[in-house]
């Protein structure tokens, strides 16, 4: 593995750890965690906040899936290739978004 690939892998692994931690904070056993007093009068606000947390958790999971996929591609030797067209993803794009599966044309 080249030095650049090793640095990319390390950055992706760090991002994976960070995302897993964030998801764990939002969920417990697959359920959205939101602490509130059972006697809280505004159940609509609680429901809205639970909905926001669910959307956030789903977004974080999508990001985690992209990171996992990028790590697999490093192992397979296909990292940096667009999943849509197969062309090389630009170096600047990969530096900015190391887990991106798409070239700029298919983003």
Q: How many C-beta atoms lie closer than 10 Å to residue 81's C-beta?
A: 16
- The predicted pLDDT at position 41 comes to 58
Q: Is residue 106 part of a domain?
A: no
Cβ 103 vs Cβ 84: under 8 Å: yes
Tell me which of 37 and 97 has the higher pLDDT. 97
CA dihedral for 63, 68, 74, 76, sign (positive or negative)? negative
Cβ 98 vs Cβ 70: under 8 Å: yes
Q: How far is CA 60 from CA 15, 20, 34, in A?
A: 11, 8, 17
Instruction: Indicate the helix (H) or strand (E) that contains 27.
Output: strand 27-28
- The predicted pLDDT at position 91 comes to 94
Q: Is residue 105 part of a domain?
A: no
pLDDT digits (tens, 9 = 90+) for 8-37: 999 999 999 999 999 998 887 565 555 555
Q: Is residue 95 part of a domain?
A: no
Q: Is residue 104 part of a domain?
A: no
Q: Is residue 88 part of a domain?
A: no
Domain that holds residue 67: 3-77
Q: Is residue 107 part of a domain?
A: no
Q: Is residue 82 part of a domain?
A: no
Q: How far apart are CA 67 and CA 9, in angstroms?
A: 10
Split into its structural domains, the chain has a count of 1
Q: Is residue 61 part of a domain?
A: yes
């Amino acid at each position: 593995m080249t030095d650049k690939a090793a640095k990319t892998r390390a950055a992706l692994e760090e991002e994976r750890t960070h995302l897993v931690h964030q998801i764990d904070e939002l969920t417990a056993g697959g359920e959205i965690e939101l602490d509130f007093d059972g006697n809280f009068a505004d159940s609509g606000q609680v429901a809205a906040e639970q909905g926001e947390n669910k959307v956030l958790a789903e977004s974080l999971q999508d990001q985690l899936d992209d990171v996992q996929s990028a790590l697999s591609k490093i192992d397979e030797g296909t990292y940096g290739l667009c999943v849509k067209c197969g062309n090389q993803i630009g170096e600047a794009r990969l530096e900015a978004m190391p887990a991106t599966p798409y070239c700029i044309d298919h983003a």
